[in-house]
């Protein structure tokens, strides 16, 4: 079912004619030039494009971390433009998990504390948050690294902590922005294997932005972003 904007009200996530232009001094820099996409509940989509194509900008708009110059983003049929900053923060905390290329772990916290952080921000009781975090860290293969700080972990281990952190509040959507970009090829494959396994187990919708065709090929469907536009949307065999 679609509304007047043409987006599917049953989709978990939908973007309608998204534009984003940044002002640099006296000139405008258009990054997105009219992007449409839909992501159904529990589905897996890859967004492929070269560096500078606008992938990260698009993910920031989809998560409500930035606002579009034109167009709208809908989450479960509600336009993000209608939400207050507090409502957006609650949405991101409870409904969306993030996995970033640079991990973004807090250096002063150990693995368990990093994973617990979003749950505690969401006011989950400390005991429940710790139980969930321990179970998730065990699931991602880090049951023996709970008290290690990020500086004591390899890049692959830090990304596993970040994945566990993204899942702590049982979100409906995981947004992964170049999750293998800082990893060697073997470790990168392990991380993508893990994300695919968790997607299948938990039925969480997954959107991975990547420049790597081999990573994109793990999704049943891929959008290709070039020069701020979706230039193709192909099923991947």
Structural domains in the chain plus CATH codes: 13-235 (3.40.50.300)
Q: Would you place residue 87 in the very low, low, confident or very high pLDDT band (cuts 50, 70, 90)?
A: very high
Model pTM above 0.85: yes
For the segment 151-168, the average pLDDT, to the nearest whole number, is 97
Q: Find all residues with CB under 8 Å of 15, minimum gap 6, and list them.
A: 7, 35, 36, 37, 38, 58, 61, 62, 71, 72, 73, 74
Per-residue buried b or exposed e for 56-76, using 16+ beta carbons within 10 Å of the residue's own CB: bbbbbbbbbeeebbebbbbbe
Per-residue pLDDT for 5 more than 60?
no
What distance in Å separates the CA atoms of residue 162 and residue 180, rounded to the nearest whole number? 12
What distance in Å separates the CA atoms of residue 230 and residue 34, rounded to the nearest whole number? 8
Please provide the average confidence, as pLDDT, over all residues in the chain: 93
Instruction: Enter the tokens of residue 184.
Output: 């060697």
pLDDT single digits (tens) 21-68: 999 889 999 999 999 999 999 999 999 999 889 999 999 999 999 999
What distance in Å separates the CA atoms of residue 33 and residue 22, rounded to the nearest whole number? 12
Q: Would you place residue 1 in the very low, low, confident or very high pLDDT band (cuts 50, 70, 90)?
A: very low
What distance in Å separates the CA atoms of residue 90 and residue 86, rounded to the nearest whole number? 6
Give the number of C-alpha atoms closer than 13 A to the C-alpha of residue 32, restricted to the C-beta side: 28
Please give the pLDDT value at position 8.
56
DSSP H helical segments within the chain, as ranges?
A: 55-62, 85-95, 111-121, 126-139, 155-167, 185-202, 213-216
Per-residue pLDDT for 6 more than 60?
no
Decide if 54 contacts 225 (C-beta within 8 A): yes
Question: What are the CA-CA distances from residue 29 to residues 25, 32, 53, 73, 103 (Å)?
Answer: 10, 9, 12, 21, 28
pLDDT single digits (tens) 177-213: 999 999 999 999 999 999 999 999 999 999 999 999 9
What are the two backbone dihedrals, phi and then psi, of residue 139, each rounded to the nearest 5 degrees?
Answer: -65, -35
For the segment 112-131, the average pLDDT, to the nearest whole number, is 97
Percent over 90 (pLDDT), the chain: 89
Eight-state DSSP code of residue 42: T
């Amino acid at each position: 079912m679609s509304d007047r904007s043409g987006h599917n009200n049953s989709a978990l996530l939908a973007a309608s004619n998204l534009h984003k232009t940044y002002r640099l001094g006296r000139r405008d820099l258009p990054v997105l030039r009219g992007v449409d996409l839909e992501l159904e509940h529990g589905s897996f989509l890859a967004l492929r494009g070269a560096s500078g194509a606008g992938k990260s900008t698009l993910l920031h708009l989809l998560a409500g971390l930035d606002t579009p110059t034109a167009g709208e983003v809908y989450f479960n049929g509600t336009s993000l433009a209608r939400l207050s900053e507090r409502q957006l923060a609650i949405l991101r905390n409870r409904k969306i998990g993030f996995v970033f290329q640079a991990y973004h772990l807090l250096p002063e916290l150990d693995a368990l504390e990093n994973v617990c952080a979003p749950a505690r921000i969401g006011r989950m009781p400390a005991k429940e948050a710790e139980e969930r975090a321990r179970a998730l860290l065990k699931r991602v293969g880090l049951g023996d690294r709970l008290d290690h700080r990020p500086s004591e972990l390899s890049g692959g281990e830090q990304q596993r902590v970040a994945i566990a952190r993204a899942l702590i509040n049982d979100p409906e959507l995981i947004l992964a922005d170049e999750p293998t970009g800082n990893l060697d090829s073997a470790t990168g494959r392990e991380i993508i294997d893990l994300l695919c396994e968790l997607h299948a187990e938990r039925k969480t919708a997954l959107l991975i932005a990547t420049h790597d065709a081999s990573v994109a090929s793990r999704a049943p469907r891929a959008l290709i972003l070039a020069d701020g536009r979706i230039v193709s949307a192909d099923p991947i065999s």
